Amino acid sequence: MTLPTYAELPRRADAPAGSSWGVFGDDDEHGTLNFIGPEQVVAAAGLIRAGKVFPLNWDVALPSPALFHRHNFRHELFNLQTGPGVTVDDYVDGFYLQGSSQWDALRHFGDGEHGFYNGARLEDITGTDGRLGIQRMARRGIAGRGVLLDVARFLEAGGEGYDPLEFVPIGVDVLRRTAEAQEVELRAGDVLLLRTGWVEAYGRLDEAARTALVAPGAPGSAGLHGAEIPGFLWDQRIAAVAADNPALEASRPGPGPDLELHVALIARLGMPVGELWDLAALAEDCAADRRYEMFLTSAPLNLSGGAGSPPNALAVK
């Protein structure tokens, strides 16, 4: 399939500008994951050399207090028995699927005027068996080449007092310069991992500081920012993008992110977005061996109609 550049995306009366609706078919529900084919998976498997495995899920109980008007869950053990057959069962009550490390499914965000990816309307995505649910990603599976852009390390090396808990806009120029410094290139079908250092900075806060971080509204964070981001990601044929900050986008303390990139990426381009991934250990290893590419797998929950899921992601080098 010959795919258009971002500037060449078709203009349709029923679709917003900058959308890929219909490019992969009018009934498509996978979006930019279509950039990953068998050829990309086989090539990515060849990146496994040392057998090092890096889980990318953060503790599901973090952040605490929860962000964005969500609540922390309750974990209960039950059916405790002693004797020869010891049994422990458990359940989680009030578990927000997008409370910690997460994928946003394509039904998570829509365009205010035109609706959700590929023209789905609100009535199409509200049912548990409706369109664009997380089950589409789960049943397809995600496996391919992951590329880490360690923007935090790159900006810290510049000695400009970088703080991932403050509003730091990361535009296309920073992404390009980081890739150049790391001597890594982006390829079609890549899952792009963006390290801002937010998760590690959060881990250094005491309880009082964590509570203050979410009052009165949203925490500040470094993150993607700028109108050029969607075109850059599409033209690089990025299959999905995930970061270690709360919203992928840069956020101002209190007001939070404007979420325009959520609209542009999820609703218009059909690009899955990941947030609050734990990239610290992977980044340390990449900095040590200067290899910023790896085999990446992710198995979201097979939950029909879900708007998001923990990613259950692994990077293997």
Q: Please check the confidence at residue 1 and state whether its pLDDT lies above 80.
A: no
Tell whether 14 is covered by a domain.
no
Task: List, for residues 27-57, the tens digit of each pLDDT value.
Answer: 999 999 999 999 999 999 999 999 999 999 9
Nearest to 19 by CA among 31, 37, 30: 31
DSSP 294: E
Q: Please check the confidence at residue 203 and state whether its pLDDT lies above 80.
A: yes
Tell whether 16 is covered by a domain.
no
Domain that holds residue 246: 22-70+96-316
Per the structure, the count of domains in the chain is 1
Q: What is the mean pLDDT of residues 137-145?
A: 97
Tell whether 13 is covered by a domain.
no
Distances (CA, A) of 121 to 108, 124, 125, 314: 12, 5, 7, 33
Tell whether 9 is covered by a domain.
no
DSSP 273: E
**Backbone region of residue 132 per phi and psi (left: phi > 0; alpha: psi in -120 to 50; beta: other values):** left
Under 8 Å between Cβ of 262 and 224: no
Tell whether 256 is covered by a domain.
yes
Tell whether 81 is covered by a domain.
no
From CA 79, how far away is CA 138, in angstroms rounded? Answer: 31
Q: What is the CATH number of the domain that holds 169?
A: 3.50.30.50
Tell whether 77 is covered by a domain.
no
Classify 230 as helix, strand or coil. Answer: helix
Tell whether 201 is covered by a domain.
yes
Classify 168 as helix, strand or coil. Answer: strand
From CA 74, how far away is CA 234, in angstroms rounded? Answer: 40
DSSP 266: I
Task: List, for residues 56-75, the tens digit of each pLDDT value.
Answer: 999 999 999 999 888 999 99
* Run of H or E residues at 281: helix 280-289
